[in-house]
Structure 1
Amino acid sequence: MTALPKVFAAIDVRDLDRATELAAQLAAAGVGLKFGLEFFVAHGAAGVERARPAGAPLFLDLKLHDIPATVEGAVASAIETLEPDFLTVHSSGGPAMLTAAMKAARGSRTKILGVTVLTSLDDSDLDAVGQKAPVLDQVVRLARTGLHAELDGFICAPTDAATLRATIGRAPILMVPGIRPAWAADAGDQKRVLTPAQAIALGADHLVIGRPLTQAADPAAAARKVLAELAA
């Protein structure tokens, strides 16, 4: 099996033509493609098939969270129609839901990744919804739940990667969003961010980068710049 790229570009736009253009440029630069909820609600699996260049590594970031039977069916449908390399579920859905997701993915190439705590949330946000523990405690708790369900890996903020890697070991995949190259303008709506090199050094396997690539004047050049920095 060909090694998957370290960087996945978040194609988080609703316009199908623009998404198709971005996907072609970024895939040609050597990064994988992440299609998330905004794009998927607008265009569905057919839109992903149209926008994605043939053979481009695919991360389908739907963050599924529902009763176990519904998630099992959704995972099965996603694999049947798109066979993504990665597909996300919310770890907070509980052991039965996570086990159902893994059951649906059995025998496929699709890796199921459990979202721990979103990079847009900090301690005060968790407190507001009744989660009193610090973010990092919740990240570790949810990862341990996912390990028991035999998830393939996890989504976490780059600032949580070192602790999570120390907790779960080397085998599970860590896909890390909240990445901002040093030359990027700002962090946007994400509160816990690091540079690509920092995140890899802390234990990330793959990185998700959105606006620094998709809003660059030359998205392909920006992607190549990130890959060159990682190679160095």
Structure 2
Amino acid sequence: MRETRPVIALDFPTFEDVKTFLALFPEEEKLYVKIGMELYYAVGPEIVRYVKSLGHSVFLDLKLHDIPNTVKSAMAVLANLGVDMTNVHAAGGVEMMKAAREGLGQGPKLIAVTQLTSTSEEQMQDYQNIQTSLAQSVVHYAQKTAEAGLDGVVCSAHEVKAIKEATRKNFICLTPGIRPAGSAIGDQKRVMTPADAQAIGSDYIVVGRPITQAEDPLVAYKAIKEEWSG
């Protein structure tokens, strides 16, 4: 089922920054937020507990990638934090992804990273020595993710159609790199507007700076939410 709220990337360095930002939203506006590596490593598990205490949903974006037993144990810890969704790197393999699912349990959604949206095809072929197209690599990882029993993948919105066709209709496609028309693309190589992502079949979108660095984050959020929800 498609998430009608855009997922806000809380890419802040401190706990106080997060508190200040979240205070801009009415108490009844329950958000879906992404907590990434910078914030989690700076603050620790307490940041997840705080955000959950406000009634918001949390996508904990730590991209775990290790031997299966280590990932399984780490996922058991994250499950105790009450996260709504978290992820691993599909490159860790089917065995690792199955272990992650076992450690996390069946409640939270578990997705896998295919290729980062900052990665170009040339970089993939050079750095990773994967000599296929970027699209073929993404679809292959998505199929392995589905095989492992995970709920979906992180991918570019440009790859959603091919992934759905190669896996199943209810396979989650979470797409970062979303920018409203006319905004700066930053360090993302493959971007799309919220309306385009909605039209192409994305299930979740992640939006960071266009909301968090907006002059009025609440107004920016509502505009993106309206565009995304159609």
TM-score (norm 1): 0.92
Question: How far apart, CA to CA, are the structure 1 residues paired with 2:165 and 2:25?
Answer: 32
CA distances 1:11-60 after superposition (whole Å, capped 9, x unpaired): 01112111122234357555311100111111111123235552101111
* Partner SS for 1:25: coil
- Residue 31 of structure 2 corresponds to which residue in structure 1? 31
Question: How far apart, CA to CA, are the structure 2 residues paired with 1:3 and 1:94?
Answer: 27
* Partner SS for 1:150: coil
Any residues of structure 2 matched to 1:101-140 within 5 Å, and which?
Answer: 101-107=100-106, 109-129=107-127, 130-140=129-139
Cα gap change, 1:49/1:3 in structure 2, threshold over 3 Å: closer, same or farther?
Answer: farther
- Please tell me the root mean square deviation across aligned C-alpha atoms, in Å: 1.8
CA distances 1:77-115 after superposition (whole Å, capped 9, x unpaired): 0111x21111010011001100001111224x2110011
Q: Is the 8 A contact 1:27 1:33 kept in 2?
A: no
Residue segments in structure 2 that go unaligned for 5+ positions in a row? none
- Residue 157 of structure 1 corresponds to which residue in structure 2? 156
Residue segments in structure 1 that go unaligned for 5+ positions in a row? none
Any residues of structure 2 matched to 1:128-207 within 5 Å, and which?
Answer: 128-129=126-127, 130-184=129-183, 186-207=184-205
Cα drift, residue 136 of structure 1: 0.6
Q: Is the 8 A contact 1:98 1:151 kept in 2?
A: yes
TM-score (norm 2): 0.93
Is the counterpart of residue 88 in structure 1 residue 87 in structure 2? yes
Q: Is the 8 A contact 1:196 1:226 kept in 2?
A: yes
Question: How far apart, CA to CA, are the structure 2 residues paired with 1:25 and 1:163?
Answer: 38
Q: Is the 8 A contact 2:4 2:225 kept in 1?
A: no
Question: How far apart, CA to CA, are the structure 1 residues paired with 2:50 and 2:226?
Answer: 29
- Residue 55 of structure 1 corresponds to which residue in structure 2? 55
Question: How far apart, CA to CA, are the structure 2 residues paired with 1:194 and 1:222?
Answer: 16
